[in-house]
Structure 1
Amino acid sequence: MGGCLSCNWVEWKERYLIRSFTKAGLEPKQVLIDNGQTTIHCWVPSKAAADPSKPPLLLIHGFQFDGIVGWENQVPEFSKHFSLYVPDLIFFGDSYSKSSERSEIFQAECLKKMLDELKIDRIHVMGTSYGGMVAYRMAHLFPERIDLLVCCSSGVLMTPTTNDRLLKEINCEKINTILIPTTLEEVRMGMSVATVLDLSRFPLFLIKPLFERYYSRNMRERTELLEGMIISSEGAPPVPKISQKTLILWGKKDRIFGTYLAEELKEHIGDNAKLVYFENAGHIPQIEKKKEFNAEAIKFLLYGHG
Structure 2
Amino acid sequence: MAIPFKPAPAPPPILALPASAPAQRSPEPGPPHRSRRRSPIMATTPAEDPEPGLPPPKALCEQPRRRRPCVLLSFSAARDRFLRGRFLSAGLRPFSVRLPSPAGTSTVVHLWAPPRPARRPVLLLHGFGASATWQWAPYLRSLLAAGLDPIVPDLLFFGASSSTVPDRSDTFQARTVKAAMDGMGVRRFAVERVVLVSSGVCLEEGDLAAGLFPVADVGEAAELLVPRRPAEVRRLVKLTFVRPPPIMPSCFLKDYINVMGSDHLEEKAELLHALINDRKLSDLPKINQPTLIIWGEQDQVFPMELAHRLERHLGESSRLVVVKNAGHAANLEKSKEVCKSIIDYFQEPGSSD
Normalising by structure 2, what TM-score?
0.72
What is the aligned partner in structure 2 of residue 17 from structure 1? 83
The secondary structure found in structure 1 opposite 2:327 is coil
The secondary structure found in structure 2 opposite 1:248 is strand
**Corresponding letter in the other structure for 2:214:** L
Normalising by structure 1, what TM-score?
0.83
- Equivalence map 1:1-306=2 (5 Å): 7-35=73-101, 37-46=106-115, 50=116, 52=118, 54-80=119-145, 81-121=147-187, 145-163=190-208, 164-167=211-214, 174-199=220-245, 201-229=247-275, 232-234=276-278, 236=280, 238-303=283-348
**Corresponding letter in the other structure for 2:205:** P
**Corresponding letter in the other structure for 1:247:** L
Query: Aligned partners of 1:37 and 1:22: how far apart in 2?
Result: 27
**Bigger radius of gyration among the two:** 2
Q: CA deviation at 1:168?
A: 5.8
**Corresponding letter in the other structure for 1:146:** V
Greater helix content = 1
Q: Residue deviations 1:187-227, cap 9 Å, x none?
A: 11111111111446311111121111222211111111111
- Alpha carbons of 1:173 and 1:27: their partners in 2 closer, same or farther (altered >3 Å)? closer
Kept in 2: contact 1:51–1:83 (CA 8 A): no
Q: CA deviation at 1:256?
A: 0.8
Query: Aligned partners of 1:263 and 1:22: how far apart in 2?
Result: 38
**Corresponding letter in the other structure for 1:9:** F
Q: CA deviation at 1:165?
A: 4.0
Query: Aligned partners of 1:111 and 1:298: how far apart in 2?
Result: 23
In angstroms, what is the RMSD of aligned CA positions?
2.4
Q: CA deviation at 1:161?
A: 3.2
Query: Aligned partners of 2:318 and 2:266: how far apart in 1?
Result: 36
**Corresponding letter in the other structure for 1:61:** H
Q: Residue deviations 1:236-261, cap 9 Å, x none?
A: 56211111111100000000111111
Query: Aligned partners of 1:6 and 1:201: how far apart in 2?
Result: 22
**Corresponding letter in the other structure for 1:37:** S
Q: Residue deviations 1:62-89, cap 9 Å, x none?
A: 1110111111211222122211111111
- Alpha carbons of 1:212 and 1:273: their partners in 2 closer, same or farther (altered >3 Å)? same
**Corresponding letter in the other structure for 1:69:** W
Q: CA deviation at 1:293?
A: 0.6
The secondary structure found in structure 2 opposite 1:189 is helix
Kept in 1: contact 2:297–2:304 (CA 8 A): yes
Q: CA deviation at 1:120?
A: 2.3
Q: How many residues align?
A: 274
Kept in 1: contact 2:212–2:303 (CA 8 A): no
What is the aligned partner in structure 2 of residue 129 from structure 1? none
Q: CA deviation at 1:51?
A: 5.3
- Alpha carbons of 1:63 and 1:172: their partners in 2 closer, same or farther (altered >3 Å)? closer
Q: Which ranges of structure 2 fall in alignment gaps of 5 or more residues?
A: 1-70
- Alpha carbons of 1:116 and 1:279: their partners in 2 closer, same or farther (altered >3 Å)? same
Q: Which ranges of structure 1 fall in alignment gaps of 5 or more residues?
A: 124-144
- Alpha carbons of 1:121 and 1:247: their partners in 2 closer, same or farther (altered >3 Å)? farther
- Alpha carbons of 1:14 and 1:281: their partners in 2 closer, same or farther (altered >3 Å)? same
Query: Aligned partners of 1:188 and 1:16: how far apart in 2?
Result: 23
Identical aligned residues as a percent:
30
What is the aligned partner in structure 1 of residue 44 from structure 2? none
Q: CA deviation at 1:9?
A: 1.5
Q: CA deviation at 1:175?
A: 0.9
**Corresponding letter in the other structure for 2:293:** I
Kept in 1: contact 2:130–2:261 (CA 8 A): yes
Kept in 2: contact 1:64–1:179 (CA 8 A): yes
Query: Aligned partners of 2:193 and 2:188: how far apart in 1?
Result: 10
Kept in 2: contact 1:102–1:225 (CA 8 A): yes
**Mean Cα deviation higher: 7-16 or 281-290:** 7-16
Kept in 2: contact 1:150–1:248 (CA 8 A): yes
**Corresponding letter in the other structure for 2:173:** Q
Query: Aligned partners of 1:183 and 1:283: how far apart in 2?
Result: 21
Query: Aligned partners of 1:205 and 1:253: how far apart in 2?
Result: 29
